[in-house]
Structure 1
């Protein structure tokens, strides 16, 4: 491995990431770089798990999304184990799928049918039941070495930052949307019931507490129904 050349390529990629217009394009640039910079990597993608639902971000091939969905259907796989054991290990590697008989037997058998020879992944974050991982796949057994892992760690660090930005951005967007909808619902109540701003908010909050419904959901229903009376 020519680490000097690799460092130059990483620096170029880092500059390129800053020029990307969106988080999605940033993540796509990261997974695309995996096949260029990580020795042995044929395909890559980012797996997100929300509770029991799986989402694939920026897959370089359909194979990546298929394998993520496979882990969800089977309820087993290296990513799920990495998340459960996150305090012990944030990196996993399947050196040779043809020799992997004990762990995840159903997942391994079906991955072999799809032509996967080896795999490695890096846990990017864990949050209660949610987690994210950057995964690398090869069609050759034994494709990933310690050198491959070192290179992938650097890419994973960029992916972790990009995902953190994406999650923060999504949370901010949701907060802004919720605030806007609550304001719209308050306006409806102020007009319908001739309430002050404080009284309208108090009415929404009281309905939320009495019916054990989140405030944003009450606001959404008020906006749809045109008032509390229709709920």
Structure 2
């Protein structure tokens, strides 16, 4: 019995998932996503990931400067496909930019720049940040049913990758915080002949009395110690 053939894009998505796991940092991850989008999604000529953080909008990654320009237009006119994707929590397909009536001001500007169609997918949502993946085609009707399926799967991969990057970042920050507090506690133990618990309690009291975060107190102590060491070597 002949095994059913697997579409090439399925294998490519699997390879992308592996690649994203090996990426280091948000910028590298998003750059890989948009580059893969143009290669995998039928009809996609340009791609970008746009992010809104505390109301500020930026293009986090793109395959062409046109993407940033289109983002700026959507912000300026207050309408467009990817902003709708963010608000409506779903994908938005513009089959023919020249005849679409949902965002007339944006559509007119996009057509003038050679854009015929688009696909937008909401990527991720955090407390102060949301993002969207938008694909642009140079012709009307550039995107097919396969484009929608592949684009949606790619967006899901991207969302998972971004969550992973965020979690890793939080973990690394937690490790850094623990390390600097440990260093400060060690300095206090050595300088004031205190136990580990007594040194930590002193750090906590200093933090509370000064209304300063514990990690900031610890960092200041460590920096002062390092500065004194550098001064002593002069």
Q: Name the TM tier (shorter chain).
A: 0.7 to 0.9
- 5+ residue gaps, structure 1, are none
Deviations 1:143-188 (A, max 9, x none): 3344421221121122122112211111111111121122222233
Alpha carbons 1:17, 1:29 under 8 Å: kept = no
RMSD, matched Cα: 3.3
- 5+ residue gaps, structure 2, are 227-234
Pair 1:40 & 2:43 matched: yes
Distance 1:15-1:191 versus aligned 2 partners, 3 A rule: same
Using the TM superposition, name which of 179-188 and 190-199 deviates more.
Answer: 190-199
- The structural deviation recorded for 1:100 is 5.0
Pair 1:138 & 2:137 matched: yes
Query: Distance between the aligned counterparts of 1:198 and 1:12, measured in 2?
Result: 54
Query: Distance between the aligned counterparts of 2:189 and 2:109, measured in 1?
Result: 59
Alignment partner, residue 229 of structure 2 = none
Query: Distance between the aligned counterparts of 2:158 and 2:58, measured in 1?
Result: 15
Alpha carbons 2:92, 2:121 under 8 Å: kept = yes
Distance 1:194-1:110 versus aligned 2 partners, 3 A rule: farther
Deviations 1:177-218 (A, max 9, x none): 121122222233334444332223223333333444333333
Deviations 1:61-109 (A, max 9, x none): 23224444555677654434433333xxx2122334444565484x555
Distance 1:103-1:72 versus aligned 2 partners, 3 A rule: closer
Correspondence list, 1:47-126, <5 A: 47-68=50-71, 77-86=80-89, 90-100=90-100, 103=103, 105=105, 107-108=106-107, 110-126=109-125
Alignment partner, residue 199 of structure 2 = 200
Alignment partner, residue 164 of structure 1 = 163
Report which of the two structures shows the higher radius of gyration computed on alpha carbons: 2
Using the TM superposition, name which of 45-54 and 23-32 deviates more.
Answer: 23-32
